[in-house]
Amino acid sequence: MADEAGEKSEDPTPHRREQAREKGQIAKSQDLISAGMLMIMLLTLMYLGSDLINFLGEFARDGLNTVPPLQADFSWSVNHCVAAMWRLGLALVPILLVIFAGGIFLNMMQTGIIFLPNKLGFDFSRISPAAGVKRLISLQNAVKLGFGIFKIFIVAGVAIFSLWADLGQILHLTEQSVLAIAMFLLDTALWTSIKIAAALLILALLDYGFQLWKQEQDLKMTKQEMREEMKTLQGDPQMVARRKQVARQLAMARMSEDIPNADVVVTNPTELAIALRYDPLEMAAPIVVAKGAGLIAQRIRRMALENNIPIVERKELARALYAEAEIDHPISAERFGAVAEVLRYVYDLQGKPMPTMEEMGMV
């Protein structure tokens, strides 16, 4: 019933996640970028802003103390502006570099490296008035509006509590010097801003967690979608089953041709069966002509009985050969001794002379 109703009950597959990523459907919180950038800027100003403050103070002092020439020419004005811009640049560049790196980090942290050339194209639906009105009155925008109002109250509350803690010092500012008042106001404004940024950062992390959850819910699949994807990636299940059936038939036909030429079948005794063939004049080592487990092992044993091929039970050897040996390949050197004992037993049963280990190439 859930499948018929189209309920998305299945977790998204890696293929569906990759498709969503290629379309740009990635969990991302713009609030996290904004709050993170605000925190980075404030901390950068706290630790690297002394050069900027010193420059501004010296610039104001020089501007008030220096008497400009009565007839300032063009070269004097240019030189004065270039010197001021150079000093301002030296103070701003470290701050701007840190902020720039922080912005890249906050984006990469959420999306990673992604290239979407299709997003560069012009989309007429973006300028459609009807689509714009629909987006404005959507439930998602209503939730964003409510969250924005909630953030305003949080910011106001944090600012009020922060200033309330310094109320005693604020009331006694009139007793301080101008420099002390300026330093107090700067320090209070900076720390109040950092507290606000921290509160916004916590809200942004909650929003990012919600975006991750929403993305996961949006990517979930119905059982029908799972079947369609499996059909697309692996082909029609009926065709897959048909190919497996044909492969089994070919394997059985090949065994019907190869097993009658085998010299011995090693079993486990009912779970595994490995058919071996050895010609000391043509082969350096015994070759596996067939192997199988379960029903295939039963088929190998039955064909061996039909063709009067000896069946020897060697549990450990059968397990080792089944795990290591490949069809149409010689056995490994580690199994030479055990296989030689089996072949000696078979040769004794058949009354054949047993080749020496040197003749068999097993030394």
343 occurs within a structural domain: yes
> Do the Cβ atoms of 272 and 322 come closer than 8 Å?
yes
Q: What is the pLDDT along the chain (363 residues), one digit of tens a residue?
A: 444 446 777 778 777 888 777 777 787 888 888 888 989 988 888 888 777 777 777 777 777 776 666 566 777 778 878 888 888 888 888 888 988 998 888 888 887 776 666 656 566 566 666 666 666 666 677 777 888 888 889 989 998 998 888 888 888 887 888 778 878 888 888 889 999 999 999 998 988 888 888 888 888 888 887 777 777 766 556 666 676 666 666 666 777 777 788 888 888 877 888 888 887 777 778 888 888 888 888 888 888 888 888 888 888 888 888 888 888 888 888 888 888 888 888 888 777 666 555 555 544
CATH number of the domain to which 310 belongs: 3.40.1690.10
Q: Which pLDDT value is given to residue 198? A: 92
Show the domain range for 182.
Answer: 14-66+74-118+128-228
151 and 263 both lie in a single domain: no
Q: Which pLDDT value is given to residue 6? A: 61
Q: What is the 3-state secondary structure (H, E, C) of 86-103?
A: HHHHHHHHHHHHHHHHHH
Q: Which pLDDT value is given to residue 230? A: 73
243 occurs within a structural domain: no
| Tokens matching residue 252 | 């059985």
152 occurs within a structural domain: yes
113 and 257 both lie in a single domain: no
| Tokens matching residue 70 | 């009565």
- Total domains in the fold of the chain: 2
The CA distances from residue 178 to 49, 50, 142, 183, 193, in Å, are: 21, 19, 47, 9, 22
pTM of the predicted structure, to 2 decimals? 0.53
293 occurs within a structural domain: yes
| Tokens matching residue 61 | 């002092």
DSSP secondary structure of 280-324: TTT-SS-EEEEEEETHHHHHHHHHHHHTT--EEE-HHHHHHHHHH
Q: Which pLDDT value is given to residue 123? A: 60
162 and 30 both lie in a single domain: yes
8 occurs within a structural domain: no
336 occurs within a structural domain: yes
Q: Which pLDDT value is given to residue 111? A: 76
90 occurs within a structural domain: yes
CB atoms within 10 A of CB 292: 21
262 and 166 both lie in a single domain: no
Q: Which pLDDT value is given to residue 115? A: 66
Q: Which pLDDT value is given to residue 3? A: 46
Q: Which pLDDT value is given to residue 187? A: 84
- Collect all residues with Cβ–Cβ distance below 8 Å to 363 and sequence separation of at least 6: 357
27 and 133 both lie in a single domain: yes
Q: How far apart are CA 155 and CA 204, in angstroms?
A: 13
Q: Cis before residue 269, ω within 30 degrees of 0? A: yes
Name the nearest CA neighbour of 108 among 33, 19, 24: 33
170 and 96 both lie in a single domain: yes
5 occurs within a structural domain: no
Q: Which pLDDT value is given to residue 156? A: 92
